[in-house]
Structure 1
Amino acid sequence: MKKYYLTLLLGAFILTCLSSVGWAETEKDVVAPEEQPRSQEVVPEKAIVPLDASVTDHTVTVAGKKLNYRARAELMPVFDDKGDEMGRVFYVAYSRTKVSGKDRPVTFAFNGGPGSSSLFLHMGAFGPKVVKSSPDGIGLPRPPYVVQDNEDTILEDTDLVFVDPIGTGFSRGFDPDSSESFWGVSEDVASVAQFIRMYLTREGRWGSPIYIAGESYGGIRATGLASALMDMGIMPSGIILVAPVASYGDLVPDSSNDRPYIHALPAMAAAAWYHGKLPEDLQSLPLEKVLYNARDWASSTYLKALWDGNGLSEEEFEAVLEGLNRYTSLPERDIKSLNLRVPPAVFLSGLLQDDRLMISRYDTRLTGPGGWYDYGEDPMFTLVGAPYYTAFMSYLRDELDFSTDREYLSGNDEALYRWNFQSGSEAFVGYPNTVDLLASAMRRCDFLKVFVAMGAYDMTCTADSILYTLGRLDVPVERLKENVTVKTYDGGHMMYTNPSAKAALKSDLDRFFGGR
Structure 2
Amino acid sequence: MQRIAIFILTGWLVAVAAEAQSRRPPIDTTVVTRHTVTVKGQRIPYRAEAGMQPVWDEWGRPIATMFYVYYEREDVQDRARRPLIFSFNGGPGSASVWMHIGYTGPRRVRIDPEGFPIQPYGIEENPYSILDVADIVYVDPVNTGFSRILSDTVDRRQFFGVNEDVTYLADWIAAWVSRHDRWRSPKFLIGESYGTTRVAGLAGALQERHWMYLNGVILVSPTGLGIERDGPVGQALLLPYYAAAAWYHRKLAPELQQRDLEALLPEVEAFTVEEYLPALVRGGFLEPERRREIARRVATYAGLSEEVVLQYNLAVPRNVFWKELLRDEGFTIGRLDSRYRGIDRQAGGERFDHDPALSAWNHAFTPAINYYLREVLGFRTDLEYWIFGPVRPWNREGNETGEQLRRAMAQNPYLHVLVQAGYFDGGTDYFSARYTLWQLDPSGKLRDRLFFKGYRSGHMMYLRDEDLATANDDLRAFIQKALEAARTPARY
Fold in common (TM above 0.5):
yes
Deviations 1:349-383 (A, max 9, x none): 11111111111111111112233676663122233
Contact kept? 1:359, 1:373, Cα under 8 Å: no
Counterparts of 2:179 and 2:3 in 1: how far apart (Å)?
Answer: 59
Residue 359 (1) aligns with residue 359 (2): no
Counterparts of 1:278 and 1:507 in 2: how far apart (Å)?
Answer: 32
Higher mean displacement: 278-287 or 106-115: 278-287
Counterparts of 2:453 and 2:285 in 1: how far apart (Å)?
Answer: 38
Contact kept? 2:226, 2:402, Cα under 8 Å: no
Aligned-partner residue type, residue 164 of structure 1: D
Residue 451 (1) aligns with residue 429 (2): no
Counterparts of 2:355 and 2:253 in 1: how far apart (Å)?
Answer: 27
Aligned-partner residue type, residue 291 of structure 2: F
Deviations 1:451-489 (A, max 9, x none): 1111111111111112111112336535322x1221101
- Within 5 Å, give how 1:312-461 maps onto structure 2: 312-370=286-344, 371=347, 377-412=354-389, 414-415=390-391, 417-424=392-399, 433-461=400-428
Deviations 1:17-39 (A, max 9, x none): xxxxxxxxxxxxxx9xx899557
Q: Could you tell me the percent identity over the aligned residues?
A: 36
Contact kept? 1:249, 1:260, Cα under 8 Å: no
Residue 152 (1) aligns with residue 128 (2): yes
Aligned-partner residue type, residue 477 of structure 2: R
1:241 is matched with: 219
Aligned-partner residue type, residue 433 of structure 2: I
In structure 2, relative to structure 1, the CA distance for the partners of 1:84 and 1:376 (3 Å cut) is farther
2:148 is matched with: 172
In structure 2, relative to structure 1, the CA distance for the partners of 1:462 and 1:494 (3 Å cut) is same
In structure 2, relative to structure 1, the CA distance for the partners of 1:273 and 1:40 (3 Å cut) is same
In structure 2, relative to structure 1, the CA distance for the partners of 1:153 and 1:375 (3 Å cut) is farther
1:203 is matched with: 180
Q: Which has the larger radius of gyration?
A: 1
Aligned-partner residue type, residue 192 of structure 2: E
Picking from 1, 5, 9, the partner of 1:40 is 9
In structure 2, relative to structure 1, the CA distance for the partners of 1:151 and 1:373 (3 Å cut) is farther
TM-score by length of 1: 0.87
Higher mean displacement: 470-479 or 150-159: 470-479
Counterparts of 1:403 and 1:87 in 2: how far apart (Å)?
Answer: 19
Secondary structure at 2:364 match in 1: helix
In structure 2, relative to structure 1, the CA distance for the partners of 1:54 and 1:36 (3 Å cut) is closer
Deviations 1:194-241 (A, max 9, x none): 111111111111111110000001111111011101011100111111
Residue 186 of structure 1: CA displacement? 0.4
Counterparts of 1:116 and 1:129 in 2: how far apart (Å)?
Answer: 19
**Structure 1 portions without partners, runs of 5+:** 1-30, 425-432
Residue 265 of structure 1: CA displacement? 0.6
Secondary structure at 1:363 match in 2: coil
- Within 5 Å, give how 1:6-405 maps onto structure 2: 37-38=5-6, 40=9, 43=13, 44=16, 45-46=19-20, 47-50=23-26, 51-102=28-79, 103-138=81-116, 140-143=117-120, 145-176=121-152, 177-231=154-208, 232-247=210-225, 253=230, 257-370=231-344, 371=347, 377-405=354-382
2:486 is matched with: none
2:490 is matched with: none
Counterparts of 2:310 and 2:240 in 1: how far apart (Å)?
Answer: 19
Counterparts of 2:4 and 2:133 in 1: how far apart (Å)?
Answer: 70
Deviations 1:87-125 (A, max 9, x none): 101000000002110221110001011111100000100
Secondary structure at 1:258 match in 2: helix
Residue 310 of structure 1: CA displacement? 1.5
1:15 is matched with: none
**Structure 2 portions without partners, runs of 5+:** 484-492
Secondary structure at 2:440 match in 1: coil
Aligned-partner residue type, residue 342 of structure 2: G
Aligned-partner residue type, residue 405 of structure 2: L
2:446 is matched with: 479
In structure 2, relative to structure 1, the CA distance for the partners of 1:475 and 1:209 (3 Å cut) is farther
Secondary structure at 1:453 match in 2: strand
Higher mean displacement: 447-456 or 327-336: 327-336
Residue 501 (1) aligns with residue 478 (2): no
Contact kept? 2:51, 2:67, Cα under 8 Å: yes
Secondary structure at 2:451 match in 1: strand
How many equivalent residue pairs?
A: 467
Secondary structure at 1:236 match in 2: coil
Secondary structure at 1:230 match in 2: helix
Deviations 1:124-162 (A, max 9, x none): 000000011112223x3022x111110110111110000
Counterparts of 1:299 and 1:52 in 2: how far apart (Å)?
Answer: 53
Secondary structure at 1:90 match in 2: strand
Counterparts of 1:100 and 1:36 in 2: how far apart (Å)?
Answer: 63
Counterparts of 1:237 and 1:347 in 2: how far apart (Å)?
Answer: 39
Aligned-partner residue type, residue 141 of structure 2: P
Counterparts of 2:329 and 2:204 in 1: how far apart (Å)?
Answer: 49
TM-score by length of 2: 0.91
In structure 2, relative to structure 1, the CA distance for the partners of 1:36 and 1:101 (3 Å cut) is closer
